[in-house]
């Protein structure tokens, strides 16, 4: 035992992660005290339902119906915010807790992506910690990696599978040869996807996490508005099959890298070589690949969500605070964070996959090729599935490296050609 007073912890929100954090603090109390040199003591909680069985005893712990009471409680040293949402009670609570000189730990990626710079400045002005390891990639210690292990490096790029729901859906579409809708329904039944899956499948969750990683990697203020976002709803089993035939896997990636036009921040489906590490990440797992100018490539992989992994990240932040290890939230002083200079998506250059549904008639491919030629896009290869004269068939076209703006113009023109049955669909090919 130690004579150092315990770190008095309060948890706002007792959902999956909050209950998991309470269990971890209870079950590993003795080991945590040894590692910290002081106890981590859960002394107060706030949640709407007092009757729910959360799998952990909360006896003897102060219960506040109003979460804001935690920010005022003199018996609380650190508030763990697990309510969620970029504004509302979550933001108000965090601001109040920091203003009252309390440390804050949060798993709220939306809050940090939208208001991280201002909250970091407030925390620094009060001499307290704002920690958010659990906000990105669950139990993978990627925030700490950027702030500490990779801090000596100039980061050339960050590429990540940051949403387990999307990775599960795309992986199952490939493994079981089913449609997006069928796999999404299964993911909802298994609890991997919410009843309203938009936050995940439309890329918003990934964009929040990417905005945070970009700030950590490049010393910029989080700027969710400058992230290009595209989800996975339009991915079909035909795309999955073509990708497999071409030696690729389709993954929803978050990508950040500096370019001559500014910093790219892109979230969209990508074709990734099946032989590459990110091409092999299964199911609900997350993975982040970084490239530093001195360290080279580094890959971080693990579970990106769930009670255990996320609670692990929350408590890791509590351990840092208990040890007195308090650093600037983004690795540099808030005043040193710069406004991001975003690179427009139309300046992006890369290779592309395009799927076209067209009537199997003479001259269709020639018309498509003419459009590509006139827009300065070079075709590397073309595949056609089936041969049904006069009937719809799918064409898959792979281009050489070209500018996004040229591809956009080509797609717009091809959609208007005779015998094209639907708007062409494009997926970027990402070299890793």
User: Per-residue pLDDT tens for 141-197?
Assistant: 999 999 999 999 999 999 999 999 999 999 999 999 999 999 999 988 888 888 899
Q: Is the dihedral of CA 99, 127, 327, 121 positive or negative?
A: positive
Position 306 scores a pLDDT of 86
Contact (Cβ atoms closer than 8 angstroms) between residue 108 and residue 84: yes
Integer Cα distance of 165 and 169 in angstroms:
6
> Is 60 exceeded by the pLDDT of residue 428?
yes
Q: Is the dihedral of CA 134, 136, 140, 145 positive or negative?
A: negative
Contact (Cβ atoms closer than 8 angstroms) between residue 143 and residue 133: yes
Three-point CA angle 423, 426, 428, nearest 5°: 170
- Tell me the pLDDT tens digit for each residue of 52-65: 877 787 888 999 99
The mean per-residue pLDDT over the stretch 392-411 comes to: 94
> Is 70 exceeded by the pLDDT of residue 4?
yes
- Residues of the chain above pLDDT 70, percent: 99
Phi, psi of 42 (to 5 degrees): -80, 115
101-115, 349-363, 379-393, 418-432: which has the minimum mean pLDDT? 379-393
Integer Cα distance of 420 and 403 in angstroms:
23
DSSP letter at 133?
A: G
Integer Cα distance of 24 and 29 in angstroms:
8
Integer Cα distance of 418 and 225 in angstroms:
37
- Tell me the pLDDT tens digit for each residue of 317-331: 999 999 999 999 999
Q: Which domains does the chain have, with CATH numbers?
A: 7-135 (3.40.50.720), 142-303+329-345 (3.30.360.10), 348-429 (3.30.70.260)
Element (H, E) at 106: strand 103-106
Contact (Cβ atoms closer than 8 angstroms) between residue 396 and residue 242: yes
Contact (Cβ atoms closer than 8 angstroms) between residue 253 and residue 160: yes
Strands (E), 260-413: 262-273, 285-292, 296-303, 349-359, 379-385, 392-399, 402-403
- Tell me the pLDDT tens digit for each residue of 261-285: 999 999 999 999 999 999 999 999 9
Query: Of 52, 209, 251, 361, which one is the catalytic site residue?
Result: 209
Position 361 scores a pLDDT of 86
Position 2 scores a pLDDT of 62
List Cα–Cα distances, 200 to 75, 164, 192, 209, in angstroms.
Answer: 37, 9, 10, 12
Integer Cα distance of 204 and 45 in angstroms:
29
Nearest CA among 128, 336, 306 for reference residue 215: 336
Position 1 scores a pLDDT of 54
Q: What is the pTM of this model?
A: 0.94
Integer Cα distance of 239 and 234 in angstroms:
9
Position 48 scores a pLDDT of 83
Q: Where are the alpha helices (DSSP H) in 148-233?
A: 164-176, 180-189, 198-201, 204-218
Q: Which pLDDT band holds residue 99 (cuts at 50, 70, 90)? A: very high
Position 56 scores a pLDDT of 80
Is 209 among the catalytic positions? yes
Angle between helices 237-245 and 164-176 (to 10 degrees): 70
DSSP string, 30-69: HHHHHHHTS-EEEEEEE-S-SSS--SS--TTSEEESSTHH
Contact (Cβ atoms closer than 8 angstroms) between residue 98 and residue 119: yes
């Amino acid at each position: 035992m130690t004579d150092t007073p315990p770190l008095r912890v309060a948890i706002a929100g007792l959902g999956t992660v909050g209950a998991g954090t309470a269990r971890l603090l209870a079950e590993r109390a003795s080991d945590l005290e040894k590692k910290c040199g002081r106890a981590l003591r859960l002394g107060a909680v706030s949640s709407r339902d007092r009757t729910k069985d959360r799998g952990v005893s909360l006896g003897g712990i102060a219960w506040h119906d109003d979460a804001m009471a935690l920010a005022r409680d003199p018996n609380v040293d650190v508030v763990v915010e697990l309510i969620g949402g970029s504004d509302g009670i979550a933001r108000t609570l965090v601001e109040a807790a920091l203003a009252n000189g309390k440390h804050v730990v949060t798993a709220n990626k939306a809050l940090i992506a939208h208001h991280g710079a201002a909250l970091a400045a407030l925390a620094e002005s009060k001499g307290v910690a704002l920690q958010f390891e659990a906000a990105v990639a669950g139990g993978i210690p990627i925030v700490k990696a950027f702030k500490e292990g990779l801090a000596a490096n100039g980061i050339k790029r960050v590429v990540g599978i940051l949403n387990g729901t999307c990775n599960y859906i795309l992986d199952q579409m490939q493994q079981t040869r089913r449609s997006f809708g069928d796999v999404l329904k299964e993911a909802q039944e298994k609890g991997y996807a919410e009843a309203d899956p938009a936050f995940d499948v439309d890329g918003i969750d990934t964009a929040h996490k990417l905005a945070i990683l970009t700030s950590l990697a490049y010393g910029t203020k989080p700027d969710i508005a400058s992230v290009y976002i595209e989800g996975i709803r339009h991915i079909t089993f035909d795309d999955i099959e073509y990708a497999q035939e071409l030696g690729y896997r389709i993954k929803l990636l978050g990508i950040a890298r500096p370019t001559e036009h500014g910093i790219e921040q892109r979230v969209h489906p990508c074709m990734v070589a099946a032989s590459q590490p990110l091409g092999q990440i299964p199911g609900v797992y997350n993975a982040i690949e970084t490239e530093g100018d001195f360290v080279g490539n580094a890959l971080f992989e693990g579970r990106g969500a769930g009670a255990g992994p996320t609670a692990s990240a929350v408590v890791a932040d509590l351990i840092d605070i208990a040890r007195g290890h308090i650093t600037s939230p983004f690795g540099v002083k808030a005043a040193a964070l710069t406004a991001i200079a975003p690179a427009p998506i139309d300046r992006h250059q890369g290779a592309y996959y395009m799927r076209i549904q067209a009537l199997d008639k003479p001259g269709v491919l020639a018309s498509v090729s003419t459009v590509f030629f006139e827009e300065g896009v070079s075709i590397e290869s073309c595949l056609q599935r089936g041969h049904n004269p006069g009937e719809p068939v799918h064409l898959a076209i792979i281009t050489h490296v070209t500018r996004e703006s040229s591809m956009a113009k080509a797609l717009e023109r091809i959609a208007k050609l005779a015998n094209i049955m639907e708007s062409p669909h494009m997926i970027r090919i990402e070299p890793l």
